[in-house]
Structure formats: structure tokens, C-alpha cells
Amino acid sequence: MNLKEKIAIRAKPIDKTLQKYLKIREPTKLYEASAHIPLAGGKRLRPVMALITCDMVGGDSEKAILFATALETIHNFTLVHDDVMDDDDLRHGVAACHTIYGLSTAILAGDTLFAYAFEMITDSDIDDRIKADLVQNVAYVVRKIAEGQQMDINFEEKETVEPKDYLEMIRLKTSILFGAAAYGGARIGGTNEDEARELENMATNVGLGFQIWDDYLDATASEDVLGKPSGSDIRQGKRTLLVIEALNRANSKQRRRLLEILDSDNNDEDIVEAVNIMDECGALSECHIQANKYLEGARKVLLKYPESEARTLFEELLEYMVTRGH
Amino acid sequence: MNLKEKIAIRAKPIDKTLQKYLKIREPTKLYEASAHIPLAGGKRLRPVMALITCDMVGGDSEKAILFATALETIHNFTLVHDDVMDDDDLRHGVAACHTIYGLSTAILAGDTLFAYAFEMITDSDIDDRIKADLVQNVAYVVRKIAEGQQMDINFEEKETVEPKDYLEMIRLKTSILFGAAAYGGARIGGTNEDEARELENMATNVGLGFQIWDDYLDATASEDVLGKPSGSDIRQGKRTLLVIEALNRANSKQRRRLLEILDSDNNDEDIVEAVNIMDECGALSECHIQANKYLEGARKVLLKYPESEARTLFEELLEYMVTRGH
């Protein structure tokens, strides 16, 4: 069985729980809008990570299913609201929520998913002390995700972004929800707070590697692998880590040309030229190195746990997150 | 000391807690936007009701301050998002959040307040079992508020709205947050679930009376009392209970004229004429009767509790909510 199949099996109870909670009620427009993106698919990496962590620390991941589904619900709430803010039309291969249901209902659908997540956590068959702890952690993480999204919005008005600021932005916007998955899975699995925080930190770092790898892939992988045209970040002029590193490393001529391509309409040849500049100045390999650094650090933490099916799956998951598509 | 002063004293720890949580952090734009509406004022009726309920059932309302502040935070989160949806420019006498900070940051500010509310509840010095119960109840209530807002949006596209549908809409959109205040205050105060549900039901009914009275006042009170021009609901063509009852009761000539006034630009004389029609057909007195019915029902529940300063204040608060301005 390959990794995709293994993940799909782990994701089954998540999908089932989503379907149970997100059934259509009155007013139907609100509930159809709420279910639209979560039920359109997605890899379910966050909830699967929560389940695997729970098993790896010796817990019973059955008890973590509601919590894991809550994280997927939170993830989807942020996608629905982000698409409104960025006015993106497509998500998971379907129309974004607001393009079908309108701005107001999309905002409400996000709020509804946010609320559902806390209903799921408190519906869990776990100790009340753990429940309260997970609610607090997830609420804190949602606030941090909002900070990350605000930083991303702020960056759009900035001339230059420092690598450390970019990393902080993706840590907040993307990575710490992976951290919350590992933390919650570990707590439900019975670890103490310190051990859960170490796993949270490990998973947050993997989340960073995941996002850096995403930026890397966008420039280097084929349309077949990506499921969208290659170089779309460059086309949109996004300041990814790859672009930031390239602007820092390029000579003045390369830099001028790269900025020109990023900040104007560009064709396929321009994209190829931009990627070549990123390659020549060492930005591509720098991103590759950084993504791998996060992966290696995470591997070391996993090796503290006894060998098990869950640990092996976790290792494969990490590997997939930071080397997929190549 | 008059009621306003008594409420202001009870609201002090709420304001203090809001100020503590809503201090400005990085990214400052997000946190300034989040603090803007909650710190602009408001009567703090919901949190004060939570504190009074806790005292009335014999509890220590010190322990309910964080929960009460969480409800005020939830209330403000819904105001920020509602203003985006309705594109309203003013709130509590200041510019609405999105008019200052833009659409994206206003959505994020609402999300941030939503998250803070759950951090406040779980920060409370109360039993973990009660914490989990309150989180679940508040999350459920937020989902119901979203349902109410969606119903309100749906009504705008409808020719006629039935009184029972309007009442259900305001029950969800406005009243049940009062219910959640009484429920939480009672639980923290040590009551069992059944007793807390009775108080929740009582407070939800008072919330209905509050909203009906708000509609009534808008048509009948002076600009001095309202702090805004009289008849603004009529000016905007809103289908309040008053309008729905008037359209149901008026003769065909009155009905035609009322619809004409509601659905077109109108001047002060038109407003006076509309209010006269509402009066003549009995809609005004019907709303007065309904608001009072909810008040009387609530009073009976309060009388089950021994006389105390808290019960007296609760009685005065109810009276204020459903008879203020007249």
C-alpha cells in the first residue's frame, strides 16, 4: 500500500465525521455554504497527523477523531475567509464559497465552521481537563493564524520582505495548525504537557518545511504534478521565500529583471527566465536546503519513540510533506 | 443610585478585562481593528446579566467575569462581521471596523474576537466540567446567531415575512446570547443544568422583548431618546415585527400606502403617516402587548428566587430592557 492509500484510510473517519456534522439544516443556504469547501476534498493532512501522533505516543486514536475533525474544520474556516479576502475564485478544484453563495453567506459559513470546531472538541469522549486545554490551544492558534494572514496582507504593501519575517508569517498562517494537530493528538494520547509541546514544535517545523517546499514546487514541478500551471506564484508576483532569497542573492542585473517579471504581466518564457535566475543565484538550492533542515530536525524527534506502525507512517508523512513531487 | 449607574458599576470589571485582553500587539493593524468596536462602548447588558444571574443563584460573580467578558466579545465579533455584511458605516457612535481598516482586516478582527472569547472562558477559574459545558453552549449559540443573520439576509429577498418567522429570526440573532449569559452565570453560580436552562429560557424571552421593544421605540420615541433619527427602520424599509403586524392588520388602502412608504425614498411626513397607520391598525399596541408578555413571563421566573440585591437589579434590568425610553 502506498502512502496516499494509507493516508486515505486514516482520513476516512474524518470524512465521516465531517459529513455527520455538516449535514444540511435550516437555513439551508448557510449550511450548504458551510459544507461546500470541507466536503470538496483536501488531503486531510492535519487531522491525519493528529491521529498518528495519538497512536505513536501509545494512545487510542479513536478518541482523537473529533478533535482531529475540529482541526480540519478550523483549516476550512480559514480557507473560506481567506478566499473572501483574496477574492480567489477556486479552491480544491471547485468554486470558492463566496463565488457561489455571496460575500455575506461566505463570512457566516466561515463563522459556522469555526463554531462547529469547538462543538466537536467538547463533544469528544476525553477528560474535561484535556478538553479545556485543547479548546484554549486551538483558540490561541486561530488567533495566531489571523496574525499570519494580516502579516501576509501587510507584505503586499511592502517593497521588500526579510526572510525571517516571511518565515514568521508562514509559521503563523500555515505551520502552527500542524503543531496544534500533534499537540492535541499527544495530549489525547496521554502525554504530559512538555512532551506534547516538543511534538507540537516538531510538527510546526514540518509545517514550515511543507510551505517552503510548496513554494519550491510551484517553480520547479510540472503542471502534471501541481494540478495547476507551473510558476503561478511568479505569475502573481507573490513574495515567497524563493523570491525573497533570489532578490537577496541575485546580482543587480538579475534582480532588476526578476522584479520586472514579478511586477508585470508575463508569459511562459518570462517564467522560465525567472526560474533560471532563481537557480543561478542559488535561491532554489537554498530553499531545498531549508526545507530539508526542517525535515531532518523533525525526524530526530520521531526517533525518540519506539518503532511502531504509527511512527513509520509519521516518518513517511513528513517525507511526503517536504519531498513530494520530486 | 439609578439603574444606569448600577449597570455601569457592574460593567467595570468587564471593561477592565476587555482592556487587558485587547491590548495592542503585532501586527498592530489587526489588534487595533479587533479592539476598535469592543472598546468604543456599548451597554454591556449581556455580561452584566451573566454576573447578576450568578449572584442571584447564590454564586460568586467574581468567578463569572471572564465568562461574561467572553460573551461581550462574542457580541462584538458578530457586530463587526454584521457591519461588513450590511455595509453599515456607524456602530456605537464610531466608524464601523471595516470602514477604517478595510474588509479583510475587519473579517480577521471578528475572527480574532471570536477566538479570544474561548481563551477567556478557558482562562476562567472554574471547574473544567463547567468550562467544557460553557464552551459547548457558546459555540452552539454562535452557530445559531449565524443562522439568525442568514434568515435576516433571506428575508430581504422575500415579499412577506410571517410574524413567527420574524420572531424566530430575532430569537436566534439577538435573544439567545442573553440566554447564554443567564445560563453561564447560573452554571458558574452552582445551579444544576435544569435550573440553568430555565433561566436561559427566561433570558432568551427577555431578549425577544428587548428586540420587539427596540422596533417599537424606533417608530415612537424621539431622536433625543434614540440617539438617532426616529423612524430609521421605516426609512430603510426594514421588515420589523411592527411592520409585519401592520401589513397583516391594515386595510388594503393603508397597506398599499405603507408598502409605498417602506419601499421608496421618504420624507419626515411620510414617516409620521406610516407610524399613524401602524397605530390605527393596532400594530403598535400589539407590539407593546407582546413585549410586555415576555417581560411578565420573565418576572415570574425571577420570583422563584429569594429576595436579594441581585434579584432586584435583575428585575430593574428586565424592566429597562422592555420599557426603556417611555
Question: Is residue A134 in a domain?
Answer: yes
Nearest Cα residue in chain B from A84: B104
**Residue from the list B119, B123, B150 with its beta carbon closest to the beta carbon of A108:** B150
Q: Tell me the pLDDT band of A326, cut-offs 50, 70 and 90.
A: low
pLDDT digits (tens, 9 = 90+) for A289-318: 999 999 999 999 999 999 999 999 999 999
Which residue has cell 492509500? A5
Spell out which residues of chain A touch residue B117, defining contact as CB-CB under 8 Å.
Answer: 139
| DSSP 8-state class, residue A247 | H
Question: Is residue B58 in a domain?
Answer: yes
pLDDT at B206: 95
Spell out which residues of chain B touch residue A114, defining contact as CB-CB under 8 Å.
Answer: 111, 114, 142
Do the Cβ atoms of B139 and A154 come within 8 Å? no
Q: Tell me the pLDDT band of A158, cut-offs 50, 70 and 90.
A: confident
Is A165 an 8 Å CB contact of chain B? no
For chain B, 326 residues long, give each residue's pLDDT as a single digit of tens: 899 999 999 999 999 999 999 999 999 999 999 999 999 988 999 999 999 999 999 999 999 999 999 999 999 999 999 999 988 888 888 899 999 999 999 999 999 999 999 999 999 999 999 999 999 999 999 999 999 999 999 998 887 899 999 999 999 999 999 999 999 999 999 999 999 999 999 999 999 999 999 999 989 888 777 777 788 889 888 889 999 999 999 999 999 999 999 988 888 899 999 999 999 999 999 999 999 999 999 999 999 999 999 999 999 999 999 988 76
Do the Cβ atoms of B115 and A146 come within 8 Å? yes
**Residue from the list B27, B135, B154 with its beta carbon closest to the beta carbon of A27:** B154
Domain count, chain A: 1
pTM for the predicted model, two decimal places = 0.95
Nearest Cα residue in chain A from B123: A136
Question: Is residue A326 in a domain?
Answer: no
Spell out which residues of chain B touch residue A30, defining contact as CB-CB under 8 Å.
Answer: 146-147, 150
Q: Mutate which of B86, B135, B168, B171 to test chain A, going by most A C-beta atoms within 10 A?
A: B135
CB atoms within 10 A of CB A290: 20
Question: Is residue B326 in a domain?
Answer: no
Do the Cβ atoms of A146 and B122 come within 8 Å? no
Do the Cβ atoms of B115 and A85 come within 8 Å? no
CB A194 within 8 A of CB A200: no
Residue range of the domain that includes A93: 3-321
Spell out which residues of chain B touch residue A110, defining contact as CB-CB under 8 Å.
Answer: 107, 111
ipTM for the complex shown = 0.95
Q: How far is A110 from chain B (nearest CA, A)?
A: 9
Spell out which residues of chain A touch residue B113, defining contact as CB-CB under 8 Å.
Answer: none
Spell out which residues of chain A touch residue B84, defining contact as CB-CB under 8 Å.
Answer: 103, 107
In sequence order, which residues have a C-beta less than 8 Å from that of residue A205 and are 6 or more positions away? A175, A294, A297, A298
Question: Is residue A21 in a domain?
Answer: yes
pLDDT at B326: 66
Task: List A residues 29-48 in contact with B (Cβ-Cβ < 8 A).
Answer: 29-30
Nearest Cα residue in chain A from B81: A107
Bond before B306 cis per omega within 30 degrees: no
Which residue has cell 481593528? B33
Is B274 an 8 Å CB contact of chain A? no
φ/ψ of residue A128, rounded to 5: -60, -30
Do the Cβ atoms of B111 and A136 come within 8 Å? no
Is A24 an 8 Å CB contact of chain B? no
> Which 3-state string (H, E, C) describes chain B?
CCHHHHHHHHHHHHHHHHHHHCCCCCCHHHHHHHHHCHHHCCCCHHHHHHHHHHHHCCCCHHHHHHHHHHHHHHHHHHHHHHHHHHCCCEECCEECHHHHHHHHHHHHHHHHHHHHHHHHHHHCCCCHHHHHHHHHHHHHHHHHHHHHHHHHHHHCCCCCCCHHHHHHHHHHHHHHHHHHHHHHHHHHCCCCHHHHHHHHHHHHHHHHHHHHHHHHHHHHCCHHHHCCCCCHHHHCCCCCHHHHHHHHHCCHHHHHHHHHHHCCCCCHHHHHHHHHHHHHCCHHHHHHHHHHHHHHHHHHHHCCCCCCHHHHHHHHHHHHHHHCCC
Is B165 an 8 Å CB contact of chain A? no
pLDDT digits (tens, 9 = 90+) for A89-101: 888 888 999 999 9
Nearest Cα residue in chain A from B118: A139
| Residue A101 belongs to domain with CATH number | 1.10.600.10
Is B289 an 8 Å CB contact of chain A? no
Question: Is residue B315 in a domain?
Answer: yes
pLDDT at B112: 98
Spell out which residues of chain B touch residue A154, defining contact as CB-CB under 8 Å.
Answer: 27, 29
Q: How far is B166 from chain A (nearest CA, A)?
A: 13
**Residue from the list A26, A30, A123 with its beta carbon closest to the beta carbon of B146:** A30
Do the Cβ atoms of A149 and B108 come within 8 Å? yes
